[in-house]
Amino acid sequence: MHDELEMALPPRGNTPYDAPSALQLIEAVGLFISEELEEETTPTQRWKLRIASNALGIASREIQNIAEDRKALKVFLDDFNMDSEKELSDALRNGEFDNKLEQIYAKLVPMVERKIFVANPSYINRNNIKF
Amino acid sequence: MTGYPQEEISVGSDPDQWTPHLAEVLEKPLGKVRVTELTRLTGGANRETWSFNAIDKEEKVSELILQLDRAGLDRLVGTCAREARIVNIAHGWNVPVATVIASSETPNPFGRSFTITRRIHGETIARKILRDAEWKVARSVFVNDCASSLAAIHSIPKKELEKVDLIETADSLLALTTIYDALCDPHPTFDLAIRWLEANRPEPLSSCLVHGDFRLGNLLVDEDGLRAVLDWEIAHFGDPGEDLGWMCVRAWRFGGNGNVAGLGSYQDLLDAYEKASGMHVPLETLLWWEIFGTLRWGIICLQMGGDFRSGRTTSIEIATIGRRVAENEYDLLLALKDQIS
């Protein structure tokens, strides 16, 4: 007889899908690439596999952060009474914010940092660059 | 950018099938040869690059490099052969380049424009050049060598190049913003930078041949210093400041501490360039071109990522370049820090 407690599966939360989750699948493919495939490949293939692995990392971080980052983008645009990045871009180019460039700059920094955290979190530390 | 192939026709599908064609192409410059060790090299989103040996009747081995336009890339048709013409002219003006053995527009056995050059031994991988003990001497003279080579490139009279189909970019910022606007994918950081660049334009330095991609990765060094300037694919007529600033773009420092190619200071570059060319370039002009270059690389990343989004390529490499836009936004904000805040 198996111990019932040992047989209990990790909770999968309130989701209509079965497990593993999208994130877990991405992680599994990432490990398959980095731990199984990479050792059997040529340098060219290894380089491409590393790119594929990085792409999975981006996808994984995006899934985890998109809800919060969407909210932050809305707050950022609301601060300037803008509905979209396009509207803000147009206003910047037309000179409508020429007397507020410092303010725009200060609020763009954390927005771009959010994007970097998803796209390539090692970028900031690797280059030892800070504002 | 249009015309990525859905299915690339590659020499690699059967390298042996192509060796007779290579031998045929090489008969005129090298005599009868047999081709061995045809091996595809990594890197280059727009080119296929191969190394191989050509062995003549007396068993003399010529180590060669074959570059082909990537199949199906309409916007690049003929660029290999055009590049060979520029390289030959640059060689006559003391620019260190690889010796061209053969080149051709289509039609030819490969069905694509190609160039064959002598292989130069050395290193192009930035992280190795920046860090490995082997390149210590090369590092110590690198900024100086680059400044001399740039001065030589910028000194080539335009009339020498009149038979080469080169674009004249009179207003680089306008040309870049036109591309950015056409992409219809606004990034407020880019617009902030464009606004600043428009308001702070420096006086033009001159109009001359500009390499267009002069940076670590396209520069081959040996133990003693810079040996060859590679990848002339986007050479054009423009302001020499474009090449100087491009070397300083943070992406091309590859994590090195120096402002110029991760190795030297702005003043090192400006002093060496003035010594070699006789042209004084103010620091503010260099910084303007660095910010321009950072914006340019950001827009190139956006454009390349767009090729994936539009279905013109399925390349994972191109897809992930689209996500490097954020790095350029970050670098732009850093570069603009002292200018705006």
State ipTM. 0.88
pLDDT, residue B301, reads 94
Q: Does residue A4 belong to any structural domain of this protein?
A: no
Q: Which domain holds residue A85?
A: 19-126
Residue pLDDT, tens place only, B244-257: 999 999 999 999 99
Quick one: closest CA in B to A103, which residue? B341
CA B53/CA B62 separation, integer angstroms: 6
Instruction: Output A49 or B152, whichever has higher pLDDT.
Output: B152
Interface of A with B in 31-50 (CB under 8 A): 43-44, 47-48
Q: Please list the residue range(s) of chain B that carry CATH number 3.90.1200.10.
A: 126-340
Mean pLDDT of chain B: 89
CA A107/CA A102 separation, integer angstroms: 9
* Residue B68 pLDDT level (bands cut at 50, 70, 90): confident
Subunit contact A102:B341, Cβ cutoff 8 A: yes
Subunit contact A131:B333, Cβ cutoff 8 A: yes
Query: Letter for the amino acid at B204?
Result: P
A55 touches chain B (CB under 8 A): yes
pTM, whole model, 2 decimals? 0.89
Residue A94, C-beta contacts closer than 8 angstroms, at least 6 positions apart: none
* Residue B6 pLDDT level (bands cut at 50, 70, 90): very low
Rg from Cα positions in chain B: 20
Domain tally, chain A: 1
Contact list in A for residue B333 (CB cut-off 8 A) is: 105, 108-109, 112, 131
B125 touches chain A (CB under 8 A): no
- Count other Cβ atoms within 10 Å, centred on residue B292: 25
Closest CA relative to residue B177, chosen from B302, B290, B79:
B302
Mean per-residue pLDDT, A2-30 = 83
Q: Does residue A24 belong to any structural domain of this protein?
A: yes
Q: Please list the residue range(s) of chain B that carry CATH number 3.30.200.20.
A: 16-118
Domain B16-118, CATH number (from 3.30.70.260, 3.30.200.20, 3.30.420.40, 2.20.28.10): 3.30.200.20
Residue pLDDT, tens place only, A29-71: 988 888 888 778 887 788 889 999 999 999 999 999 999 999 9
Q: Does residue A78 belong to any structural domain of this protein?
A: yes
pLDDT, residue B8, reads 37
Q: Does residue A77 belong to any structural domain of this protein?
A: yes
* Residue A131 pLDDT level (bands cut at 50, 70, 90): low
Q: Does residue A13 belong to any structural domain of this protein?
A: no
pLDDT at B72 exceeding the cut of 60:
no
The domain covering B126-340 belongs, at the CATH homologous superfamily level, to: Aminoglycoside phosphotransferase (APH), C-terminal lobe (3.90.1200.10)
Subunit contact A112:B320, Cβ cutoff 8 A: no
Contact list in A for residue B324 (CB cut-off 8 A) is: 119-120
Subunit contact B316:A55, Cβ cutoff 8 A: yes
pLDDT, residue B44, reads 60
Instruction: Output B307 or B249, whichever has higher pLDDT.
Output: B249
Residue pLDDT, tens place only, A80-97: 999 999 999 999 999 999
Residue pLDDT, tens place only, A99-127: 999 999 999 999 999 999 999 999 887 65
* Residue B14 pLDDT level (bands cut at 50, 70, 90): low
Of B195, B323, B329, which has the smallest distance from its Cβ to A92's Cβ?
B195
Query: Letter for the amino acid at B141?
Result: V
* Residue B3 pLDDT level (bands cut at 50, 70, 90): very low
Q: Does residue A12 belong to any structural domain of this protein?
A: no
The answer to whether B71 touches B104, Cβ cutoff 8 Å, is no
Q: Does residue A72 belong to any structural domain of this protein?
A: yes
